Chain A
């Protein structure tokens, strides 16, 4: 079993490796991409490597421990002109060496396989491989590992592993779970220096502080509080001031499109508005899929990925400790139920609060346990 950790230029690799990390992945933004790339999450932009020298320094440390480092170049597409620049970047990075590249664009994958057949290619979750035929498709292209999409439930992952061609499969176990399919989300992520729909007066850190304060209160009380239109408006305004205002996180007003606006449709609109509204945004903890480890591991998946290149180092350490402890209990657990109880207890101990159904990767697991 391998635990794959996110890495940014300031992370202390020695501590992460001593904590149990087996593999690392990081982003790299080629200097030539300045003002060309248009869809980097602000969080990634600030936490990806930008020079080959700093990446080499980290790669050397990782390799000195006998561990591996992968570079993510997974924009959903690249322009024809930029593909050439990227291929030249990959050639240079490969000399460090880098153990594998996590790619998404089909054109780029093909070009890398043709020009550098020795390079190991992993398929990014951003591409989307949901069925055995998709796994075969990418195997035929020379992909050796696939990061499965996070919109597959536990049973679907199990079914996939049973019929999968012989290749490594990797799943997310912490932090990664967007409302949209990553492979089919075409919202724009605004970058630093780009004109932005939000006035940028609130940083991500400030938003984090507000979330932490609110989470001290019981869910039910906050639910009632957010039903008050004035309070709801105040928090909507806070959200609207946030720098990282992604299309999926907008506090929408919702109404039925056409008549008749029946009672059912109005009720649904209210339910949708509540879902998109500030209550859910402020109360949502980072997603967690630790409980899915049990079935996945028994089905033969042995690479577990922690998301969050942009997370503070302290959070990464907690995530790693939590997953390592859960993984360590896999072989001892009598059954899934016992494993899940163990995970929930460790979660509370390490993160200081109970896990919630809202952050659970697989609501079915939550309901069953």
Chain B
């Protein structure tokens, strides 16, 4: 089993103990306005090199703004991958980015967990016993069917990634011939472009516009609680997540060969 460390910033890298990890995940998974500058990426790459770890770059859903930011990053990552003879992976959560990556042959293409479309409502677990077997089976599946993987064959994807919802994971992915990652312990529930940290000051409402303040970084994470929720929802910037501390049994039998430790997302 490969273990990956989910890096959220490049300050105080020397304090991070990577002894039990093989790989670093860095970038922005949920928000295009939080994509790091190249200087920060380079710092993370150098850190990876020093520590003899491999590197995966996280990307979110992007508008034209994000595409403009990502193109120079991909060019540099592609060059880095070739010159250092180290395969850099890009985690894709937007199929447009997969299309864009066709131009960068040295970068490994990984389909991120947001494209799995798994149901990750934490309330499901409360009523798990009352769902029919068939409903529960459907709730444990994802978009990553054989047809889905076949559709992406020409894009040379090497891996797919999953969330770890309370109700479990039904698929066995071994037959797909792709690597399978699992994010742990934070499960993604929802993402928005109407970000509650990008609020119009006059109307006190979120609006879809470029975010320059990045106030979510400064304000940290908020707990959302409600009587129907078994665990709090964690609101971090434009993403809602929850914590599931249990791992499904027999990960290898499901084809899962990488665990991404992502506790650092929330602060």
Contacts and interface: CB of A to CB of B under 8 A. Distances in A.
Interface of A: 35-39, 76-80, 82-83, 105-111, 127-138, 140-141, 151-153, 156, 159-160, 163, 179-181, 183-188, 194-198, 240, 245, 247-248, 250-258, 264-265, 268-269, 271-272, 275-276, 357-358, 362-364, 366-367
A80 B145 contact: yes
A133 B100 contact: yes
Contacts of A107: 143, 145-148, 150-151
Given A179-B194, A197-B123, A257-B267, A184 B61 contact: yes
B209 A153 contact: yes
Contacts of A136: 96, 99
Contacts of A133: 67, 96-97, 99-100
A186 B189 contact: yes
Contact of B143 (A105, A156, A268): A105
Contacts of B120: 186-187
B123 A38 contact: no
A91 to B, nearest CB: 16
A128 B227 CA distance: 32
B151 A37 contact: no
B234 interface: yes
Interface in B98-130: 98-100, 114, 117-121, 123-124, 126-127, 130
Contact of A160 (B64, B137, B224): B64
A23 to B, nearest CB: 26
B191 interface: yes
A36 B135 CA distance: 5
A254 B223 contact: yes
B207 A364 contact: yes
Contact of A187 (B62, B97, B190, B206): B190
Contacts of A152: 63, 193, 208
Contacts of A108: 147
Contact of B62 (A131, A184, A271, A276): A131
Interface in B220-241: 220-229, 233-235, 240
B134 interface: yes
Contacts of A159: 64
Given A130-B62, A131-B94, A254-B222, A111 B147 contact: yes
B94 to A, nearest CB: 6
Nearest to A78: B145
B127 A151 contact: no
Contacts of A357: 203, 205
A160 B192 CA distance: 19
Contact of B151 (A109, A153, A179, A185): A109
What size tier do the contact residues of chain B reach? 35 or more
Given A271-B204, A363-B200, 4 more contacts: A107-B146, A183-B61, A188-B124, A194-B130
Contacts, number: 241
A197 B143 contact: no
Contacts of A364: 207, 209
Q: Is the interface of B mostly helix, strand, loop or mixed?
A: mixed
A244 to B, nearest CB: 13
B119 to A, nearest CB: 5
B14 interface: no
A367 to B, nearest CB: 7
A106 B143 contact: yes
Contacts of A358: 203, 205
A253 B120 CA distance: 20
Contact of A77 (B141, B190, B229): B141
A268 B222 contact: yes
B213 to A, nearest CB: 12
Given A137-B95, A181-B193, A184-B61, A77 B145 contact: yes
B83 interface: no
Contacts of A110: 147-148, 150-151
A178 to B, nearest CB: 9
B208 to A, nearest CB: 4
A80 B208 contact: no
Residue with the highest number of chain A CB atoms closer than 10 Å, among B118, B202, B218, B222: B222
B196 interface: yes
B156 interface: no
Residue with the highest number of chain B CB atoms closer than 10 Å, among A39, A134, A194, A254: A134
Contact of B118 (A36, A80, A186): A186
Given A197-B127, A251-B226, A106 B209 contact: no
Contacts of A362: 207-208
Contacts of B35: none
Given A107-B145, A110-B150, A151-B193, A253 B226 contact: yes
Contact of A276 (B189, B206, B224): B224
